[in-house]
A and B are shown apart, each in its own frame.
Chain A
C-alpha cells in the first residue's frame, strides 16, 4: 500500500520507472481478471493494454489515495462491462456467446499464457450469468468487498451477495462435473 502510494507520486512526477514497476506489478493480476470475465484471451489482452495506456496518460489526474490494485481492477471490470454493452447494442455476439478461452496455444503474438486451471475456471465462469460471474470473480480474485462490487454494479449489497451465492453454487457444480468428466476419460 505504502509502496503503491510512493509509486503513484513518482509516476505523477513523470517517472517512467514508476510506471514500469506498476505495469510489472499488476499486469498478471489484471490479465487474469480480464480472462476470467471475458473468457477470451484476445479481448482480455486488448482491455488490459487499453487500461495501462489510459493509466499512462492520466498522471495529472490520478490522486494518490485509495488502493491502486482495486482501482485498476475496477477499471478492467468497467471497461469489459462497457464493451459488452456496446456489443449487445450492435447485436453482435457478446462475451457470453464466446465459445471458449480463445486459442489453445500461445502463438508468437499472444501476450497472456494461461495455466490449465485458469482455462478450466474461465470456461466454467462463462457458463454462469455475467453479473454473477463479475461478483464471484471480483470477490474471489479482486479481493473487493461486496460493498465495492455493489457500487460498481449499481446494485444493493444484498443483491450482490445473492449473486455471489448463486454464482458460487453454479460454479461449484460446473467444476465438479468437469472434473468428473475428465476423470472418466
Chain B
C-alpha cells in the first residue's frame, strides 16, 4: 500500500472537470485507489464519490493505492492532482 497526503491549493477545488480527469487516470490501474478526507473514504474511480467529497481550496486529502500496480498508480494520480489542483504534498508526520 502506498500513502500520500496532499493539500488542495486550487481556487475552485475539485469540481466536475478535474474530477473527470482523476477518474479517467485512476481507472487505468488495477489497484484500488482511495481518496480520504476527514475520515470519509471514496473510490477514486467513482466520479460521484469524488464530487461528494466536496474538496475545496485548503482541503487536506490522503491518497491510498493498493494493488499490483500501486506505485505507478500513485505516481499517475499525484501527477493529475498536481496538474489540476495546484496541489502541494504534505510530509507525513
State whether these chains interact. no
- Chain B residues within CB distance 8 Å of chain A: none
